[in-house]
Amino acid sequence: MPPTDSTSLRERKKTETWHAIHDAAAELALDDDTKHVTVEAIASEAGISQRTFFNYFPTKEDAILGVRTPTVPELPEGFLANDGLIERTTELLLTVGRSTYAEGDADRRSRLFEKFPHLLLRRREMMIEGEDLVYQAIATAMADHPEWSAGLNGHSVESAARMLTMAAGVPLRYLLVSGGMPGARLETDSLTTALDLYQDLYRKLS
């Protein structure tokens, strides 16, 4: 996902440039028979300098895929309350995941994955990175809250946070796996279904 939109001219131009680069990269990569598009070509097509290209994306791959290093929003006040914690964490993971990819044109993304399968690896990496950040954020929050940093009889907040994050990630992973095809996208419908299913299960087991 591009830098967040806003009313600021500066911000608007940044998202424009981000999209211009990603679009140029994706289109050129898909069009090109040689499978070898240069950064120079992408930058030129996007109307910016090569150096600016690397201000927006750390690698050419990321530009083609349209990914951003994941960021975790600040956790809201009552986030750690027991009631609904797993659901909130799932939401958080989803938010982080979404903030990592460009919205829209899922078709194009599918074609990209078909033509450049290694992009799937990169996507996986990004997911793991995002989950790691979420885990760290939650661990930090737990450490800051007495009721967590205390009563875990022997277990560390790190363990608790990791466990929580993994549990909360279940419906998302389920979706990716059951989606079957590599490059399958997170359809809103199937996502909702998966979340419902997970919450049903969760309620039955608790």
Partner DNA sequence: GTGCATCACTGCAATTTTGCAGTTGCGCAA
Partner DNA sequence: TTGCGCAACTGCAAAATTGCAGTGATGCAC
Q: How far is the CB of 56 from a second copy (least distance, A)?
A: 16
71 binding DNA? (CB under 7 A): no
Single out the residue of 19, 30, 54, 167 in contact with DNA (rule: CB under 7 A). 54
Single out the residue of 55, 71, 178, 192 in contact with DNA (rule: CB under 7 A). 55
- The residue (of 50 and 69) whose beta carbon lies closer to a second copy is 50
205 binding a second copy? (CB under 8 A): no
- 129 conformational bin, left if phi > 0, alpha if psi -120 to 50, beta if neither: alpha
204 binds, among a second copy, DNA, none (CB under 5 to 8 A by kind): none
- On the CB side of 114, CA atoms within 13 Å amount to 10
Q: How far is the CB of 49 from a second copy (least distance, A)?
A: 6
**Which position has the token pair 């986030």?**
79
- The residue (of 13 and 118) whose beta carbon lies closer to a second copy is 13
Single out the residue of 9, 150, 181, 205 in contact with a second copy (rule: CB under 8 A). 9
CA 68/CA 123 separation, integer angstroms: 11
Single out the residue of 49, 59, 156, 178 in contact with a second copy (rule: CB under 8 A). 49
CA 91/CA 172 separation, integer angstroms: 10
Binding-site size for a second copy (CB under 8 A) equals: 3
**Which position has the token pair 């903030």?**
99
- The residue (of 20 and 48) whose beta carbon lies closer to a second copy is 48
Cβ distance 56 to 20 under 8 Å?
Answer: no
Structure tokens at 60: 């050419």
- Strand pairing partners for 120? none
Query: Could you tell me which of 156, 100, 104 has the C-alpha nearest to residue 123?
Result: 100
17 binds, among DNA, a second copy, none (CB under 5 to 8 A by kind): DNA
CA 19/CA 10 separation, integer angstroms: 14
- The residue (of 9 and 181) whose beta carbon lies closer to a second copy is 9
Binding stretches for a second copy (CB under 8 A): 9, 48-49
